[in-house]
Chains A and B, each alone.
Chain A
Amino acid sequence: MKYYKFGDKNGRYIGSNDKYDVYENTIASRIAENNEKIKKEPYEMYFNYGPSAGGLRESVNFNIVTPGETIRDITVNSYYKRRRIKIINDDIDTALLKVERINGFHSASNTVCFLLAVEDALNIDNHNSNNKRIIEIELERIRSNLDVIKGLCESAGFSVPEKQLLYLMEKVTRIISDTFNHRYFFSANYINNVYGNFDSIKLDDIYKEFNEIYNGLLESKIFMDRIQENGIVKDANSTGPAARASGYKYDARIDSKSLVYNNYNIFAMEDGDTFSRFMVRSNEIFSSIEIINNNLNKINNNKNDVKIENKSGEGAARIESPQGDIFYYANIENNKIKELSIISPSYLNIELFKKAIKNNNILTDFFFVWNSFGIWISELEVDFI
């Protein structure tokens, strides 16, 4: 492993799974938490929502303790859709098909991070593919951020911008599909290779159309009232847009060596509320377009040789997915997966959501706050067997 080692806490906290606590530079054994069930006072009630309900895209259950209007406490039960994916002993090609489907909406981030870990384990030079990988991850970020902002419009009952954003998401999806032959990047990524026709990537319209929607939302007093000063959370243990919305300039595009971005300027806000997360997500759409345009000029279309020096080894990688740091650890023995571990940004984002929603919010704020974190259960609730 070039950039990671097993050891104690070192650097900022990235997240945990059942086995590991991962920090900026180290992988530590998991310290189990003491999960106490929340208790209600006599004047309070439990409000149970999900796992399947209108308004929820994925299966997840919330148990809210409320005296009537405010949210005093909450548990998030994400285990309902837990998938057990048979991947141990798979060869890398077969494992890749499964990794693509850990979080299909963020398939590029998951797949690229997995491949970077595999390339680290097998000592494969990947510098020829990394510009293309940056382009696909930034395209994914644009779609993902549009989705989060669409969710905020939906929560506010703003159907016109909601539908306009859905329209833009489909436009971005078609650019992805024309470039990579698949609307979710499936089968586009291989070891030291990205298959795609990058000439189809033109983003000027997306920039212009999103800019109009963004300015329209900023001018809307009703929308601003709904998202300002709710869901406030500022916590040193945070990740992605939620961290950057609260003054923590964490970004794996800057502080990870796995996939190096040059000259990236972090956009950050201070207040840590839903509005700040909206601002970070919006401004990162503009910066992602700029990153893509810069990288399109640097693409190297030479056929990449894959020289595999080792057949066994351990590797790890961390990159900035649209919701924050995503981390993969892969242990490979004779080209087969011996151990695979993922730290999803949704782990920390759920912790942040719980803190944010308990911080002086009422039940009607619930969807604004939940949607502002862009949490995906699919990549959190996965067992590799």
Chain B
Amino acid sequence: MMWFLKGIKKRIKTENLNDKYKIKYPSVLEGKSDYNCPTGAIENNKWVKEKCIFCEKCDLKPTYKQDMYNINNNIPDIFKKSFYLYPIDSGTCGACNTEFNTIFSPQYDINRFKIFLSNTPRHADALVIMGVYTENMDKVIENAYDAMPEPKLLIGLGACSVSGGIIGEKISKKFDIEILGCPPSPYTIINAILKARGNVK
């Protein structure tokens, strides 16, 4: 009871997604550069966002835009009602895991969009895979995917899972949604999921 009252008194306000505080890196980069990028994210002077780890070494300029993602397949309408996510750490540094947890903080409160955490893949709509490929976790991911009910989605979160980033090899599965950045910011994660579900144009 005491904490309930303290909670009400404190009145922490969830933020409108438009009152964004500014995040410089990672954000969409623009311009041209012929820098010899350590992850091969510059090909023929063009930026390959999936490979970028935002190391700030090249001449590409940050735009502060937080919408770096790819939606590779049509997402069934059924996920507009409610959407349960089950995260799996394949081989992360810990920052992707932390940003994923941050979307449940009062500032972002992703629950308001009917997006929830699932405690088991058996009740999940999407597996969120983070980190580079690791041999032992490959089998665990396979088992988790098999345990999920249909229809089901695979989300790759972070440069490591999508391209290998600078740490290792990418996850061998094809993702329905790729959320980019090293690590992706909470805004990018939320924007990607809302867009994929068709909640925003």
Contact = CB atoms under 8 A, between A and B. Distances in A.
Interface in A144-198: 147, 158, 160-161, 163-164, 166-167, 169-170, 173-174, 177-178, 181-184, 186-187
B140 interface: yes
Contacts of A101: 93, 95, 165-167, 182
Nearest to A84: B168
Interface stretch (A22-30, A55-63, A268-276, A334-342): A55-63
Contacts, number: 158
Interface string B8-52: 001010000000010111000000000000100000000000000
Given A81-B90, A164-B10, A57 B101 contact: yes
Q: Could you say which of A86, A97, A169 has the most chain B C-beta atoms within 10 Å of its C-beta? A: A97
A51 interface: yes
Given A59-B88, A80-B140, A83-B167, A166 B104 contact: yes
Contacts of B23: 177, 183
A106 B98 CA distance: 11
Contact of B89 (A52, A97, A178): A52
A26 to B, nearest CB: 29
A186 B89 contact: no
B92 interface: yes
B97 A57 contact: yes
Contacts of A57: 89, 94, 97, 101
A79 B140 CA distance: 13
Interface residues of B, number: 55
B74 interface: no
B88 A58 contact: no
Given A57-B89, A161-B3, A220-B2, A167 B166 contact: no
B6 interface: yes
Interface string A77-101: 0011111111000000010011001
Contacts of B91: 81-83
Contacts of B21: 174, 177-178
A59 B143 CA distance: 14
A104 B98 contact: yes
Given A80-B137, A177-B23, A220-B2, A98 B167 contact: yes
A248 interface: no
A367 interface: no
A187 B92 contact: no
Interface stretch (B128-136, B170-178, B192-200): B128-136
B92 A58 contact: yes
B54 interface: yes
Q: Could you say which of B165, B167, B183 has the most chain A C-beta atoms within 10 Å of its C-beta? A: B167
B195 to A, nearest CB: 22
A174 to B, nearest CB: 6
A311 to B, nearest CB: 21
Contact of A160 (B3, B102, B185): B3
A105 interface: yes
A81 B134 contact: yes
Contacts of A84: 168
Contact of B136 (A82, A158, A164, A177): A82
A42 interface: no
A102 interface: yes
B106 A163 contact: yes
B140 A54 contact: no
A85 to B, nearest CB: 6
Contacts of B57: 187
A66 interface: no
Interface string B127-164: 00001101011001000100000000000000000000
Contact of B102 (A59, A86, A173, A378): A173
B136 A98 contact: no
Interface in A360-384: 376, 378-379
A7 interface: no
Contacts of A68: none
22 contacts: A52-B144, A54-B119, A59-B88, A59-B90, A81-B134, A81-B136, A81-B137, A84-B168, A86-B168, A104-B94, A107-B93, A107-B95, A163-B7, A173-B102, A178-B21, A183-B23, A184-B95, A184-B98, A184-B183, A187-B55, A220-B2, A378-B93
Shortest Cβ-Cβ A-B pairs, 10 listed: A104-B95, A54-B119, A104-B93, A160-B7, A160-B3, A105-B94, A166-B105, A101-B93, A80-B136, A167-B106
Given A51-B137, A163-B7, A376-B94, 15 more contacts: A51-B136, A52-B88, A54-B86, A58-B89, A86-B168, A164-B7, A166-B101, A166-B102, A170-B102, A170-B105, A177-B23, A177-B24, A186-B182, A187-B57, A216-B2
Interface of B: 2-4, 6-7, 10, 12, 21, 23-25, 38, 53-57, 86, 88-99, 101-102, 104-108, 117-120, 131-132, 134, 136-137, 140, 144, 165-168, 182-183, 185
